[in-house]
C-alpha cells in the first residue's frame, strides 16, 4: 500500500495537533504537588484555629505541653508556606512562634 503525500501530511498534522493539545493540557493544569499543597493549606486553615482554641483552654495541659502543640501548628504552617501554599487562618499563639531549621 502506497502512502500519498496528502495522507502523510494529514498524519503529520494530526500528530502535531495531538502533541500540541497534550502539551497545552499539561502546561495549564495543576501538578499533583500543587494540589497537595493547596489541600494541606486548606486543611491547616480548617483545623488550626479550632485545635489552638482547644489547646488554649485545656486546663489539663501544662504550659510546656501547650507550647509543644503550638510549635507543631507553627511547623505545619511554615511547611505549607515554604512549599508555596497560602495559609489564611490567624492563630496568635502560632504566629508568635519563630520556626527555624
The pTM of the full predicted model, rounded to 2 decimals, is 0.67
pLDDT given for residue 22 in this prediction: 61
Residue 52 in contact with residue 94, Cβ under 8 Å?
yes
CA pair distance 27, 24, nearest whole angstrom: 5
pLDDT given for residue 95 in this prediction: 86
- CA 41 to the chain's CA centroid: 6
Domain range holding 12?
1-29
Render pLDDT for 36-72 as a digit per residue (tens, 0 to 9): 899 999 999 999 999 999 999 999 999 999 999 999 9
Question: Which set of grid coordinates corresponds to residue 54?
Answer: 482547644
- Looking at the structure, do residues 14 and 62 belong to the same domain, yes or no? no
- Looking at the structure, do residues 72 and 83 belong to the same domain, yes or no? yes
**Maximum pairwise Cα distance, the chain:** 86
- Looking at the structure, do residues 10 and 53 belong to the same domain, yes or no? no
- Looking at the structure, do residues 70 and 87 belong to the same domain, yes or no? yes
- Number of neighbouring beta carbons within 10 Å of residue 94: 26
pLDDT given for residue 34 in this prediction: 83
- Looking at the structure, do residues 59 and 98 belong to the same domain, yes or no? yes
Query: How much of the chain, in percent, has pLDDT values that exceed 90?
Result: 54
- Looking at the structure, do residues 39 and 81 belong to the same domain, yes or no? yes
Amino acid at each position: 500500500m502506497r502512502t500519498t503525500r496528502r495522507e502523510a501530511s494529514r498524519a503529520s498534522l494530526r500528530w502535531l495537533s495531538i502533541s500540541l493539545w497534550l502539551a497545552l493540557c499539561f502546561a495549564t493544569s495543576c501538578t499533583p504537588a500543587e494540589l497537595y499543597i493547596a489541600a494541606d493549606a486548606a486543611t491547616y486553615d480548617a483545623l488550626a484555629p479550632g485545635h489552638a482554641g482547644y489547646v488554649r483552654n485545656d486546663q489539663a495541659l501544662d504550659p510546656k505541653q501547650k507550647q509543644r502543640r503550638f510549635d507543631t501548628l507553627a511547623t505545619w504552617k511554615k511547611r505549607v508556606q515554604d512549599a508555596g501554599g497560602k495559609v489564611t487562618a490567624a492563630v496568635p499563639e502560632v504566629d508568635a512562634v519563630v520556626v527555624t531549621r
